[in-house]
């Protein structure tokens, strides 16, 4: 289809043409097409009607793209739409060209509106006990999904996970905020916690002791598999049924992956980290930059560890392990 026809198709049946925010998204999108014919595919990036700025297809997100994976010497300025090549690199292309395309679903988080009036701290505790945490919102798409989760409720503002911690705006899971959707003239300094306004989804800082409904989230990026297999067999299973063995890029990801298997029997689980040509890499071949080694392992960077595969233990820390050992595992879901 042309780019515009692909956009219409995705909006009718899914959410939109693919938005790619980082290298992991790009790898997942690339893998989604590797079993197809060897064609380049449309993604959602374009500069139609944007005065030369590259933006994603999603109409709610008016910000310019911040991640790019251009092929060498691209974009060459001759076209307004973007294709992904067979190697995952991007190229600007005439929008009237007919190509296959990639749609995306509704993102990695499920949002749950809780119609109970609580303080911010009590809402945080409730979400952590029953879901994962108070809502983290990373982009306009997340904001719209969270907003829609509560629009059929009574006309109440709702808590989200953003709060001021040591002078900086951070999410409930301690990650730094990089996206904001403040209401005009906000934040005003009235409080250290943040509510989403019921009428338009914008944000306002207020005192944390106010009692109001709230939004929890449950990440769906990881999937626990309760079959005991070797690391290689776990990798094959994940690639066949999901995307790959779990990649863990930061402590938040680690907590999510850990929570995906805490209700299971008390087993350690395979994750995607393995030693490849002397370096610790993830199953998707990306080089590791975050580690959560168990305190009993020798070096924090894992250089002295003798086994080539890695398990997550019952407390969420990591051990190196013989790859032929059989245990459950955690997959990374596809888009």
Residue 14 has pLDDT above 60, yes or no: no
Mean pLDDT value of segment 196-206: 94
Place of tokens 């305190």: 295
Question: What CATH number does the domain located at 3-104 have?
Answer: 3.10.100.10
> How does pLDDT run across 242-284, given as a tens digit for each residue?
778 998 877 877 887 887 775 555 789 999 999 988 889 999 8
Name the residue among 66, 72, 65, 28 with its Cα closest to residue 47: 65
pLDDT of residue 257: 86
pLDDT value at position 84?
94
Indicate if the pLDDT at residue 241 is higher than 60.
yes
Class for domain 109-219, per CATH? alpha beta
pLDDT of residue 302: 47
CA dist., res. 26 & res. 48, Å (int):
22
What superfamily would CATH give domain 222-332? Mannose-Binding Protein A, subunit A (3.10.100.10)
Signed CA dihedral, 227, 233, 235, 237: sign only: negative
Q: Judge contact between 293 and 302, C-beta under 8 A.
A: yes
pLDDT at 106: 44
Q: Which of 54-68, 152-166, 319-333 has the lowest mean pLDDT?
A: 54-68
Going by pLDDT thresholds of 50, 70 and 90, the confidence category of residue 240 is confident
pTM: 0.48
Q: Is 175's pLDDT higher than 90?
A: no
> Percent of the chain beyond pLDDT 90?
43
The pLDDT tens digits of the residues spanning 83-138 come to: 999 899 999 999 999 999 888 764 456 788 899 999 999 999 999 887 778 999 87
- pLDDT tens profile 287-330: 888 899 988 775 544 455 678 999 999 889 999 999 999 999 99
Mean pLDDT of 62-81: 85
- Contacts of 1 by beta carbon, 8 Å cutoff, 6+ apart: 9, 42, 98, 99, 101
- Which residue intervals of the chain bear CATH 3.10.100.10? 3-104, 109-219, 222-332
């Amino acid at each position: 289809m042309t780019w515009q026809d692909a956009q219409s198709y995705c909006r009718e049946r899914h959410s939109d043409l693919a938005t790619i925010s980082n290298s992991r998204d790009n790898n997942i999108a690339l893998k989604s097409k590797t079993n197809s014919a060897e064609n380049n595919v449309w993604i959602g990036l374009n500069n139609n009607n944007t005065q030369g700025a590259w933006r994603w297809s999603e109409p709610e997100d008016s910000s310019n793209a911040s991640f790019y994976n251009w092929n060498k010497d691209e974009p060459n300025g001759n076209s307004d739409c973007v294709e992904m090549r067979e190697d995952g690199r991007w190229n600007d292309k005439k929008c009237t060209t007919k190509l296959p395309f990639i749609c995306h679903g509704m993102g990695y988080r499920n949002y749950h509106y809780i119609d109970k009036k609580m303080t911010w701290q009590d809402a945080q505790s409730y979400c952590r006990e029953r879901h994962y945490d108070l809502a983290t919102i990373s982009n306009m798409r997340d904001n719209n999904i969270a907003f829609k989760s509560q629009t059929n409720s009574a006309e109440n503002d709702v808590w989200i996970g953003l709060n001021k911690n040591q002078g900086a705006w951070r999410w409930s899971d301690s990650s730094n905020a990089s996206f904001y959707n403040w209401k005009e003239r906000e934040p005003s300094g009235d409080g250290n916690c943040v509510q989403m306004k019921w009428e338009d989804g914008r944000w306002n800082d207020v005192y944390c002791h106010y009692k109001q409904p709230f939004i929890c989230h449950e990440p769906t990026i990881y999937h626990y598999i309760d079959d005991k297999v070797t690391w290689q067999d776990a990798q094959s299973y994940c690639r066949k049924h999901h995307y790959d063995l779990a990649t863990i890029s930061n402590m938040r990801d680690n907590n999510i992956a850990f929570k995906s298997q805490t209700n299971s029997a008390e087993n350690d689980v395979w994750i995607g980290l393995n030693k490849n040509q002397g370096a610790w890499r993830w199953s998707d071949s990306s080089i590791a930059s975050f580690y959560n080694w168990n305190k009993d392992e020798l070096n924090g960077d894992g250089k002295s560890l003798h086994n080539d595969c890695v398990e997550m233990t019952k407390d969420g820390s990591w051990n190196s392990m013989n790859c032929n050992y059989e245990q459950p595992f955690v997959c990374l879901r596809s888009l």
